[in-house]
């Protein structure tokens, strides 16, 4: 079963997909969409076209483990995706994924505009890798 991971943002949302055996993270890219309903439709279409069986969505908890406004927005998106796709949507602690994604891109000479469009995709891949690693 293929698994999709999501790094949800207001303007850009990163998506990453596992291989069919749900062992390795593969393709990752960013969707640029401000409207939540259109974003849900686009994510649902990507899930269907790639035969996704499960969705993992980043849960942006505060560093002390509490849920703030971003975590609430993520939970709302998760519920919308459950309804739109009929798939299980699992919240996954994403603390530090954006920081780690920025570090990875910097180490690969991606700065400024080169980084802006890729950081959310890399963060989604890190969320996916974390989930896949825990499932082993």
The confidence score (pLDDT) of residue 67 equals: 83
- The average confidence (pLDDT) of the chain is 88
Rounded to whole angstroms, what are the CA distances from 95 to 60, 61, 62, 131? 6, 6, 7, 13
Q: What global pTM score does this model have? A: 0.86
Pick 2-135's CATH classification: 3.90.1170.10, 3.20.20.140, 2.60.40.10, 3.30.420.140.
3.30.420.140
Q: What is the average per-residue pLDDT within 80-95?
A: 94
Q: How confident is the model at residue 101 (pLDDT cuts 50, 70, 90)?
A: low
Q: What is the average per-residue pLDDT within 25-40?
A: 95
Query: What ranges do the domains of the chain cover?
Result: 2-135
Least trusted range by pLDDT, from 17-21, 102-106, 113-117: 113-117
Residues 9, 73: contact at Cβ < 8 Å? no
The confidence score (pLDDT) of residue 134 equals: 87
Higher-confidence position of 95 and 94: 94
The confidence score (pLDDT) of residue 116 equals: 60
């Amino acid at each position: 079963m293929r698994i999709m991971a999501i790094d949800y943002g207001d303007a850009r949302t990163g998506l990453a997909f596992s291989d069919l055996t749900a062992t390795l993270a593969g393709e990752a890219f960013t969707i640029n969409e401000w409207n939540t309903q259109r974003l849900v439709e686009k994510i649902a279409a990507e899930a269907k076209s790639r035969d996704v069986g499960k969705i993992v969505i980043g849960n942006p908890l505060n560093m002390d483990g509490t849920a703030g406004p971003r975590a609430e927005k993520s939970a709302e998106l998760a519920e919308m995706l459950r309804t739109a796709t009929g798939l299980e949507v699992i919240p996954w602690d994403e603390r530090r994924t954006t920081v780690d994604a920025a570090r990875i891109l910097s180490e690969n000479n991606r700065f400024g505009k080169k980084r802006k469009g890729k950081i959310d995709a890399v963060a989604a891949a890190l969320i996916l890798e974390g989930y896949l690693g825990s499932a082993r």
